[in-house]
Structure 1
Amino acid sequence: MTWSVSSCFITLVVLFLWRIEDIAEACKCAPVHLQQAFCSADVVIRAKVVGVEVVSGNTKYDIQQIKMFKGPDRVIHAVFTSSSSALCGVTLETNKEYLFTGRMSTDGSMHLVMCDFIQYWEDLNGTQKKSLTRRYQSGCDCTIIRCSSLPCPVSAPDECLWTDWLLADGQSGPQAKYSACLKMRDWSCAWYRMAPSKK
């Protein structure tokens, strides 16, 4: 009987750990180009975090919206995320300005998860900031394919290969920082490199 209870306990522990690992796996996010994040998001805003509280298992961050790049025609005063990192919740700092990409729920609230593009505003360069106003939107019909090892074939004319990862530059590479994947006159897509901006 003791052996059966021990076996049952061990099985439950293994199942619990497997479930936790499964949840953690769900939060592994593939890196995305800022243009991809912009195009796939419901909302893209620049905002300052001014307060935080826990509400029904979620963390509510009060924000001061500075600029809406994409989203509803109204001011957003708060963003919500899970209070658990295992459930893809994110942790933000108060009194810091961020660029957020996120989803709108059916009740009209904005939600963030670990896989959204969330970055300190000051860490974006001038070219990225400028592209948020028009350039990225004009490339939303294109698809960016991350290339981390060769060969990386393009399978359709509306695709751009993101090759920063071949040199391990990733999010700091020239395509990530200074380029957008845009549709050309022949309806194919190609990288358009913008001049670095210091603004």
Structure 2
Amino acid sequence: MMGVTLPGVVLIFFSIGLNIQTVESCSCYLSHPQDDFCTSEMVILGDITSKEYVIEDGWGELFRYEIKIIEELKGFNNAKGIQYVYAYQDEATCGITLDHRRYVLSGHRFKDHGIKVHFCDLVKRWDVLSLTTQENLKQAYKTGCNCMISACSGSPCCPQSKNECMWENNSPQYLEYACLENSYGVCSWYREGSKVDADAMCIPKGRSIFSFLKKMFG
């Protein structure tokens, strides 16, 4: 692997799901919050109550935040007993800075009572999320992890299988939606419990709805 330093290799392996870091800086592909939720080992909601420096481990300064868990949103066994959040501070090490606020956080188990969080994990202040997104994190996303969200551009923007929802041009409006499976095993976009009519962008011109659905779902 010529031209890539060891730190660069490690940063690449910090990647979660569709999130990718580069050697030059820590950046992430835009991913849907449902993807972040479903690909995470655990997701918790909690209040940050304190912060302290822990150690310089060769990659950067690792800090430990004390957290009061409000709710375990995913990975109940892994999230049980979490008392601390560990994170680097520098962007070069995919670090984050947390304030004394309520956050929704995803990450992996670290040490005895901790969760380690990186820049491309799900790290959101709870008070800036819409009520719809809050409800999705608490309820809807966990029921949609059998579905797949795929980005596309142009028209038609059509799913290739019945368990796929298309995210057209990474449109911000879709951040309010959840991709959920119905009783027939077909995944579609929903918002606040109601199905979103996204069929129009999925039917190629000159093809009937019946032939299109037959090709998709057999």
Report TM bin, short chain: 0.7 to 0.9
More relative contact order, 1 or 2 (CA 8 Å, 6+ apart): 1
**Runs of 4 or more consecutive aligned structure 1 residues displaced over 3 Å after TM superposition:** 19-22, 105-108
Identical-pair percentage = 29
2:86 aligns with 80
Q: 1:153 to 1:108 in 2, by over 3 A?
A: farther
Distance (whole Å) between structure 2 residues aligned to residue 163 and residue 117 of structure 1:
21
2:180 aligns with 182
Q: Is the 8 A contact 1:43 1:103 kept in 2?
A: yes
Taking structure 2 as the reference length, the TM-score comes to 0.69
Distance (whole Å) between structure 1 residues aligned to residue 88 and residue 113 of structure 2:
17
CA drift of 1:92 comes to 1.2
Distance (whole Å) between structure 1 residues aligned to residue 104 and residue 4 of structure 2:
38
Kindly report the root-mean-square deviation, in angstroms, between the aligned alpha carbons of the 2 structures.
2.8
CA drift of 1:22 comes to 4.9
CA drift of 1:183 comes to 1.2
Taking structure 1 as the reference length, the TM-score comes to 0.75
The aligned amino acid for 2:98 is: L
Alignment: residue pair count: 172
Q: 1:134 to 1:22 in 2, by over 3 A?
A: closer
Larger Rg: 1
The aligned amino acid for 2:93 is: L
Higher helix share: 1
2:14 aligns with none
Distance (whole Å) between structure 2 residues aligned to residue 115 and residue 22 of structure 1:
12
Per-residue CA deviations over 1:36-87 (Å, capped at 9, x if unaligned) read 1111111211111111112122111111211111123423211111233201
Distance (whole Å) between structure 2 residues aligned to residue 31 and residue 24 of structure 1:
18
The aligned amino acid for 1:143 is: M
Q: 1:22 to 1:158 in 2, by over 3 A?
A: closer
1:69 aligns with 73
Q: 1:53 to 1:141 in 2, by over 3 A?
A: same
1:193 aligns with 191
The aligned amino acid for 2:24 is: A
